[in-house]
Amino acid sequence: MRQPDGLLSRLAASPCSNPEMSLEEALAAYAGLGFGKFEVFTSWAGSAFDIDADPGDYLAAGRRHGMEFVSMHLPPVRGDDTAATLDRAVRAAEFAEAIGANVVLYKADSRETYVAAAAEFLERTEGIAVTPVVQNHFGTPVSSTDDFREVLGRIDDGRMKALLEVGHFHSAGVEWPEGYELLRGRIALVHVKDQVGRQSVPFGTGEIDLPGLFSRLAADGYAGDVVVEMETEDRENRLRYLGEALEYLKELMT
């Protein structure tokens, strides 16, 4: 069951929805729901990729399930070991290119490290066919619009793009239009879920204005992927909710 052309064809599943699943389990489950794209984790989830493994093995797994890999989380650069962890992040960006993921999530353990390591990271990945983005994530060094403004402003390099993380902005008390306006023109990836307060809920039952978001994305000609996340308290129902989310989003986009 493949997605039609247009924005709907650019919806990707996130391992955060079912972190207990192995890669084969996750790819099979999400493909069965109708997803054709997958965001890659390099830690934490059972489906995490090993960047020291053969990229061809992962590509083969994707082909078995009709899945493309479109974005990938890089290991974070740490201020207490910048040289080695920066090397690792660059190595991961090379791996992302090898599996076809064209967006990589650049991470660091502090706003100061984000800024201090950015110039070298951007120079060393200049010839790699990936677009690096900074993500807002509640409870990390980049949580608020002020955090984002500081980091992107101090990096001051147009090669560093942004990830609009709708749910984590909501958790930080920021409505998506405020974050969108701050990042307008630099958004290379969108993460989306519905929430009540900080709790993920099935799409269309929460407080986030998802119709307004997708209307804005369409009107502004957003051409990137949208990663769909589901982190409800009742884990046993998340796959069903993801299937319902696809139907909900189909109504918004057609």
SS3 for the chain, per residue?
Answer: CCCCCCHHHHEEECHHHCCCCCHHHHHHHHHHHCCCEEEECCCCCCCCCCCCCCHHHHHHHHHHCCCEEEEEECCCECHHHHHHHHHHHHHHHHHHHHCCCCEEEECECCHHHHHHHHHHHHHHCCCCCCEEEEECCCCCCCCCHHHHHHHHHHHCCCCCEEEEEHHHHHHCCCCHHHHHHHHCCCEEEEEECEEECCEEECCCCCCCCHHHHHHHHHHCCCCCCEEECCCCCCHHHHHHHHHHHHHHHHHHHC
Query: Does residue 38 lie within any of the structural domains?
Result: no
Query: Does residue 2 lie within any of the structural domains?
Result: no
Query: Does residue 33 lie within any of the structural domains?
Result: no
Query: Does residue 233 lie within any of the structural domains?
Result: yes
Count how many domains the chain has.
Answer: 1
Q: What is the pTM of this model?
A: 0.95
Query: Does residue 112 lie within any of the structural domains?
Result: yes
What is the arithmetic mean of pLDDT over 156-172? Answer: 98
Surface-to-core class of residue 134, CB atoms within 10 Å of its CB (0-12 exposed, 13-18 middle, 19+ buried) = buried
Domain that residue 242 falls in: 69-253
What's the CATH number where 152 sits? 3.20.20.150
Query: Does residue 5 lie within any of the structural domains?
Result: no
pLDDT given at position 47 = 98
pLDDT given at position 6 = 64
For 83-93, how does the pLDDT look when each residue is reduced to its tens digit (9 = 90+)?
999 999 999 99
Confidence band, pLDDT 50/70/90 cuts, at residue 8: confident
Query: Does residue 208 lie within any of the structural domains?
Result: yes
Q: Reply yes or no on whether the pLDDT at 4 is more than 50.
A: no
For 169-184, how does the pLDDT look when each residue is reduced to its tens digit (9 = 90+)?
999 999 999 999 999 9
Query: Does residue 57 lie within any of the structural domains?
Result: no
pLDDT given at position 250 = 86
